[in-house]
Amino acid sequence: MGHLLEVENLKVHFPVRRGVLSRTVGYVHAVDGVSLHVGKGETLGIVGESGCGKTTMGMAVLRLIEPTAGWVAFEGVDLTTLGGRQLTELRKRMQVIFQDPYASLNPRMTVRHILGDPMRIHGLYPGRQCEERVAYLMEKVGLTPEQGNRYPHQFSGGQRQRIGIARALALAPQLIIGDEPVSALDVSIRAQIINLLIDLQAEFSLSYIIISHDLAVVEHICDRIAVMYLGKIVELASFKDLYATPRHPYTQALMSAVPTTDPRARQQRVILSGDVPNPIQPPQGCRFHPRCPRKFGPCAESEPPLIPIAPGHSVACFLPQ
């Protein structure tokens, strides 16, 4: 499986400004040295607590947020060096599904125009072909072409997310980043949207990056999962390995919080002490060590690298279990 997307040492630091002169007094280390890759036809999940940097990382990959350092290569082309027409041309092949299906749709536009505008902007599917493409996309996501004359407020939350998915498919992309694509939906609708994404991936040979805080969601759709904590990836493995043998203490705490429907299951809950450190002043050494139940001397002094401990399984920990 070839790599469609490669990310190396990606950093996104937001300046903190204070005073009348808006002097920069520090930086929020939202993403601080992330490296990963996504294969063709693969689904990579990014999980972690709110504020860990997973959404910022996804937006930086698309250059909706400018990276501070590092590089992002799509089919071998470094996105961080592109601009103007070159970047616009490449963006047709990389799309996004936003978390809030209502806020991400223009309330003054009908669905027909929401789906047709990207094609007209990029000069694809002229005239009648555009109308046919819009009708085709609506049917693919479970809507009827007759609903194309409606406005976003006339749809339910699940239907609006289907419109968002259809818009992401409009330009026939190869990679789609889903930023919490089902978190704003009712539980009864989530499975439908997840199954829709799986079906569309098989039909259109798509690659996904699914950003979520819900481990139950990524379990059903992802091939590999990266666990983020305070701007860094602390564990990366296939979903089978991660769920069977989580090695990092933070991953183990996340896994223990996943509810189970089996009344016979006896799962020991891992309770973390303290709060997430300030991303403006991240702790020295391992960023998780102030809350880690297994910390020892080196954890506070040096940062553990993300290294492989088994085929396809990497952990950033001095004492992986």
Q: What is the pLDDT of residues 108-158, one digit of tens each?
A: 999 999 999 999 988 888 888 999 999 999 999 999 999 999 999 999 989
The confidence band for 266, taking pLDDT boundaries of 50, 70 and 90, is low
pLDDT at 19 over 80: yes
How many Cβ atoms from other residues are within 10 Å of residue 219's Cβ? 17
pLDDT at 231: 94
Beta carbons within 8 Å of 22's beta carbon, 6+ residues apart:
none
The amino acid occupying position 265 is A
Structure tokens at 86: 């070159």
Domain boundaries in the chain?
Answer: 3-93+173-315
pLDDT value of position 84: 83
Give residue 262's pLDDT. 64
Three-state DSSP class for residue 95: strand
Find out whether 227 and 254 touch, Cβ atoms under 8 Å: yes
pLDDT of 314 over the 70 cut = yes
How many Cβ atoms from other residues are within 10 Å of residue 26's Cβ? Answer: 15
List, edge to edge, every strand of the sheet that includes 175-179: 94-97, 175-179, 207-212, 43-47, 224-229, 232-238, 313-315, 307-310
The residue ranking higher by pLDDT, 84 or 61, is 61
Secondary structure E strands in the chain: 3-18, 23-39, 43-47, 69-74, 77-78, 94-97, 175-179, 207-212, 224-229, 232-238, 307-310, 313-315
Instruction: Identify the residue with better confidence: 21 or 109.
Output: 109
CB of 224 closer than 8 Å to CB of 236: yes
Note the pTM of the prediction, 2 decimals.
Answer: 0.91
Q: What percent of the chain has pLDDT over 90?
A: 71
- 3 alpha carbon, distance to own chain's centre: 17
Q: What is the CA radius of gyration of the chain?
A: 21
216 versus 94: which is more confidently predicted? 94
Is the pLDDT confidence value at 187 over 90? no
Query: Which pLDDT band, with edges at 50, 70 and 90, does 85 fall under?
Result: confident
- The backbone torsions φ and ψ at residue 211, rounded to the nearest 5 degrees and listed phi first, read -95, 125
> How much is the pLDDT for 188?
82
pLDDT band for position 267 (cuts 50, 70, 90): low
- Per-residue pLDDT tens for 229-248? 999 999 999 999 999 999 99
Residues in the chain: 321
**Rounded CA gap, 37 and 5, in Å?**
5
Question: Does 3-93+173-315 carry CATH code 3.40.50.300?
Answer: yes
Could you tell me what percent of the chain has a pLDDT over 70? Answer: 96
